Amino acid sequence: MNLQSLLQLGVQTVLDPRGVARFLIGQRLTREALLIAFALVVAMNTLLYAGMVAFVPQQAGDGVIVLTPMVFMLMLGASVAFAILATTWIGRMMGGAATLEQVAILIIWLQGLRFVAQLALIGLGLILPGAGVLLVVAVALVGLWILINFLDEVEGFASLGKSALLLFLSALAAVVVLSLLMSIFGASTLGLTDYV
């Protein structure tokens, strides 16, 4: 699959998320391929974050917590991995049919789209600085719509409401677990002491 095919699949994801979900699941990627794709999207998003931090440095008094790229990478990797696990487990408890690999390919694909969307938002933000917040909200809503449709397709719920509930419960579980991890490891371990 070349770059043009990936871009077309990205556009199709917005237009027909269920069809793209079926296509991605139909690829039947091995766990090794999924791990490589997972590492790639985490690395790409981390590089983008590192570039943004380098070009738009924050002052300690700004009240904004700026993570080091390594900490960002670890937190992003952990949150994506846990989102995959939580969505799979909670989906099964709700009567869904998705496997870990099926959920993984869909969430990894969305992370790849997130990277592209962030690049586009940065570019548009330079051209239309006032529209930045509106564009971020629009992208977030489209991403939410895609994810709910992905979950509905992969779980076989035939109910967007049930899929939205699955997303909410998975996100809630992720927040609880990541909060526990941060409290266990502490802010100083994450390099946040300058901001606390």
DSSP state of 61: G
Instruction: Note the pLDDT of residue 196.
Output: 40
Per-residue pLDDT, 178: 77
Within a 10 A sphere around the Cβ of 54, how many other Cβ atoms?
9
In this structure, which amino acid lies at residue 105?
Answer: I
Token code pair at residue 141: 């809503």
pLDDT recorded at residue 60: 54
Q: What is the pLDDT of residue 65?
A: 66
The C-alpha atoms of residue 113 and residue 73 are separated, in whole angstroms, by 17
Residues of the chain with pLDDT under 70: 57-65, 185-196
Query: Which pLDDT belongs to residue 194?
Result: 46
- Cα 141 to Cα 90, 114, 144, 169, 189: the distances in Å are 23, 12, 5, 18, 34
What are the tens digits of pLDDT across the range 55-71? Answer: 876 655 555 667 788 88
Q: Shortest CA distance to 151 belongs to which of 140, 160, 142?
A: 160
Per-domain residue ranges of the chain: 15-195
Q: Cα–Cα distance between 122 and 110 in angstroms, integer?
A: 18
Instruction: State the burial class of residue 169 (Cβ atoms within 10 Å of its Cβ: 0-12, 13-18, 19+).
Output: middle
